[in-house]
Amino acid sequence: MGRPPSIPVEKKTRIVLSVLAGELTIAEAARREKVSEQSIGRWKAEFLEAGKTALATGRNGPTSREEQLEAEVVELTQALGEAAVEIRVWKKSAEGRLGPSRTSR
């Protein structure tokens, strides 16, 4: 027997909120959604833990977009450094073949 189809996050959130609000018990939610009570309990625990983490970090932690941009800055800075080294090597190579350039005096 295969695994049941996964439930979208939005639906899990609605189920957990219904349980937390007292509109449904975990057993009722499990029967209605045809999942185990353990699954509903795990979703609830994960939801509450993520909420605690969000409240603890508040707005102090970087967002995923900020992390993405910081990684891009690191990558571009490295590429710029590599390009600068290549330019120096090319200039020195050209000086060896053509003599010193007017700008390097």
What's the pLDDT tens digit per position in 11-31?
999 999 999 999 999 999 999
d(CA 68, CA 71): 5
Does the global pTM surpass 0.75? no
Which positions ≥6 away from 47 have C-beta within 8 Å?
13, 16, 20
81 and 43 belong to one structural domain: no
For residue 1, being part of any structural domain is answered with: no
Decide if 23 is inside a domain.
Answer: yes
The answer to whether position 88 is within a domain reads yes
Whether residue 79 sits in one domain with residue 51: no
pLDDT bin (cut points 50, 70, 90) of residue 66 is: confident
Total domains, the chain: 2
> Half-sphere exposure of 33 toward its Cβ, with a 13 Å CA cutoff?
26
The three-class DSSP label of residue 8 is coil
Q: 75 is in which domain, residue-wise?
A: 64-104
